[in-house]
A and B are shown apart, each in its own frame.
Chain A
């Protein structure tokens, strides 16, 4: 690991200003992603501003919904009564990820900003446009079993690997941010992560020095009928091959509205408005879900080693919707 200056932030304005003032500075939260990447020499900050003493860990009711502090741990978030009762989809997604130890360390802000697990991104001997713009994409013609089937570009075929954000997107979350100048703004989660295009080095639309303060969830009508399905190589402690955050609001057996978000198939959590439109007004049934799954995957373009994800995603969507609707 390269040397870096360590500072402990005492309040949000100072933290944002400190990172804003140094292009090579980064925030440190749970450290579970950034320290790993620093050990691998992928991330090379010369300064880390430790956020963990900031009073940003509160989870509270706000504006009819709930506000979740950026520094609250994944464990505390998943187990908070407000979340378990009103947003069980979020609880399920969080506990599907990582391990007990990691969730105790991981914060909500850091979780949103976790980077891809593409093995070429991790291996500094390999070309990777995300790590080193212009060097090429090792995965495009390489081993791409874990990679994207939707929304990729020939500059980068990586996936966003996280679980929590898939549920947050289905629940219409908004991210509250403080800029290096101290000014606050919000970004809907749907505009937070981005597709790779020609600039895969940029994972999100967050600017340097912008500090995530909280994640806000509006009141939800999905608490009764939602399900997070994660398919992976082993039963636990592994990243998803395909994940589905599914939620439906039912009225007399018909679907009033639905959410279908796919994880680990694209550079960002992939919400399928096509699938949701196909479900609206239809009866909750295996047939409706099958048609929605076809609609969600219609534009998929698999790579050499991940064609399996197309069929897997379809089946996972149907299964997640069946579970959400309590038909399975």
Chain B
């Protein structure tokens, strides 16, 4: 093991580096291991770069307006105070009027499930429910959410019990990289309610008649606001159809079992794996 990164070795610091470190009282809060790691990094060739990094981290941490905050508003203007419910819990925030709900959720409340894809209303990755309706959090000002009820992907499961839509997405492989998935699932959950209400869509033949049963074509059209770059659409539609119709379809895949594994394992004299 490289001596410099050994837990107990005290690295040699130049006088300048030692002085710089001592001038940063905030370092005391970082904890021994972190201090030692940084000292060790310093003693390597990274020197001032690492110190600079640390200074930035410290400055940001000191600015954090609330626990759990990832980034701070360094130049917040036109502050708006608001209280909103997020996944059933009342949150009080003071935000720059420019902050959109997506950034408030991710960067102030630490709820990073909702994703930023395009930031322009074109992909659906940021979909959340506001007062039960699916909306795009990237085009919703946080300030407009005063008194509203926001549900994100983090709020769908009940403890360890997945929301039926989450379970169905897993069953049908409704994702590949997973980036669009929180938005897809939130969108799909709202879609169920829209179908129950008898809402129409672009592919509804007769908009004056009411139907509450959705075909796969209807589901595709109603989910068109959620783009998936991995093209997991067949699984997504199948998952939603099962939850919507209540008709179970057999899972099309399964985890490999030990016997199957043994048949291909190198240790068992086979070529692969």
Interface presence of B39 (CB below 8 A):
no
Shortest A109–chain B CB gap in Å is 15
Name the one of B80, B98, B139 contacting A36, with C-beta atoms under 8 angstroms.
B139
Interface presence of B182 (CB below 8 A):
no
Shortest B172–chain A CB gap in Å is 21
Interface presence of B86 (CB below 8 A):
no
Closest chain A residue, CB of each to CB of B119: A39
Contact A92 B207, beta carbon cutoff 8 Å: yes
Known: A100-B190, A105-B139. A3 touches B202 (CB 8 A): no
Contact A3 B222, beta carbon cutoff 8 Å: no
Contact B140 A31, beta carbon cutoff 8 Å: yes
Mark out the residues of chain B between 73 and 113 whose CB falls within 8 Å of any chain A CB in the assembled complex: 77-78, 80, 96-98, 100
**Chain B residues, CB < 8 A from A36:** 120-121, 139
Closest chain B residue, CB of each to CB of A103: B225
Interface presence of B224 (CB below 8 A):
yes
Contact A52 B144, beta carbon cutoff 8 Å: yes
Encode contact with B along A71-111: 1 for CB under 8 Å, 0 otherwise: 00001001100001100100110011011111011000000
**Chain B residues, CB < 8 A from A101:** 124, 127, 134-136, 187, 225
Contact A6 B143, beta carbon cutoff 8 Å: yes
Interface presence of B141 (CB below 8 A):
yes
Shortest A25–chain B CB gap in Å is 13
Name the one of B80, B124, B141, B200 contacting A78, with C-beta atoms under 8 angstroms.
B200
How many Å lie between the Cα of A167 and that of B201 in the bound state?
16
How many Å lie between the Cα of A168 and that of B94 in the bound state?
41
Known: A35-B141, A50-B143, A105-B140. A95 touches B202 (CB 8 A): yes
Interface presence of B260 (CB below 8 A):
no
Closest chain A residue, CB of each to CB of B133: A104
Mark out the residues of chain A between 7 and 37 whose CB falls within 8 Å of any chain B CB in the assembled complex: 8, 28, 30-32, 35-36
Offer 20 A-B interface pairs, CB within 8 angstroms, sorted by A.
A4-B97, A5-B78, A6-B143, A28-B141, A32-B136, A36-B120, A75-B199, A84-B207, A95-B201, A95-B202, A95-B207, A99-B225, A100-B225, A101-B135, A101-B187, A104-B133, A104-B134, A235-B224, A236-B202, A236-B221
How many Å lie between the Cα of A101 and that of B194 in the bound state?
11
Measuring CB to CB, which residues of chain A are less than 8 angstroms from any residue of chain B?
A: 1, 3-6, 8, 28, 30-32, 35-36, 39, 48, 50, 52, 75, 78-79, 84-85, 88, 91-92, 95-96, 98-102, 104-105, 223, 235-237
Known: A3-B77, A100-B191, A237-B224. A32 touches B139 (CB 8 A): yes
Contact B200 A79, beta carbon cutoff 8 Å: yes
Supplied contacts A84-B207, A104-B134, 9 more A-B pairs, CB within 8 Å: A6-B141, A8-B146, A36-B139, A91-B207, A100-B187, A100-B191, A101-B124, A101-B134, A105-B139
Closest chain A residue, CB of each to CB of B122: A237
**Chain A residues, CB < 8 A from B190:** 100
Closest chain B residue, CB of each to CB of A90: B207
Interface presence of B204 (CB below 8 A):
yes
Interface presence of B208 (CB below 8 A):
yes
**Chain A residues, CB < 8 A from B100:** 35
**Chain B residues, CB < 8 A from A4:** 78, 97-98
Contact B225 A102, beta carbon cutoff 8 Å: yes
**Chain A residues, CB < 8 A from B266:** none
**Chain B residues, CB < 8 A from A236:** 202, 220-221, 224
How many Å lie between the Cα of A267 and that of B196 in the bound state?
39
Interface presence of B263 (CB below 8 A):
no
**Chain B residues, CB < 8 A from A85:** 208
Interface presence of B229 (CB below 8 A):
no
Count how many pairs of residues, one from A and one from B, have CB atoms less than 8 Å apart in the complex. 106
Name the one of A31, A96, A102 contacting B141, with C-beta atoms under 8 angstroms.
A31
Shortest B151–chain A CB gap in Å is 14
Classify chain B: how many residues form its interface, as a range: 35 or more
Closest chain B residue, CB of each to CB of A2: B98
How many Å lie between the Cα of A202 and that of B207 in the bound state?
35
**Centre residue among A6, A31, A32, A75 by max chain B CB count within 10 A:** A6
How many Å lie between the Cα of A8 and that of B143 in the bound state?
9
Shortest A198–chain B CB gap in Å is 31
How many Å lie between the Cα of A79 and that of B193 in the bound state?
14
Mark out the residues of chain B between 141 and 182 whose CB falls within 8 Å of any chain A CB in the assembled complex: 141, 143-144, 146
Closest chain A residue, CB of each to CB of B96: A3
Contact A84 B225, beta carbon cutoff 8 Å: no
Interface presence of B265 (CB below 8 A):
no
Mark out the residues of chain B between 36 and 68 whose CB falls within 8 Å of any chain A CB in the assembled complex: none
**Chain A residues, CB < 8 A from B187:** 100-101
**Centre residue among B78, B121, B191 by max chain A CB count within 10 A:** B121
How many Å lie between the Cα of A50 and that of B146 in the bound state?
12
How many Å lie between the Cα of A49 and that of B227 in the bound state?
32
How many Å lie between the Cα of A4 and that of B187 in the bound state?
31
**Chain A residues, CB < 8 A from B127:** 101
**Chain B residues, CB < 8 A from A105:** 135-136, 139-140
Shortest B221–chain A CB gap in Å is 6
- Across the A-B interface, give the 7 residue pairs with the lowest CB-CB distance, nearest first: A99-B225, A236-B224, A6-B97, A237-B224, A3-B77, A91-B207, A104-B133
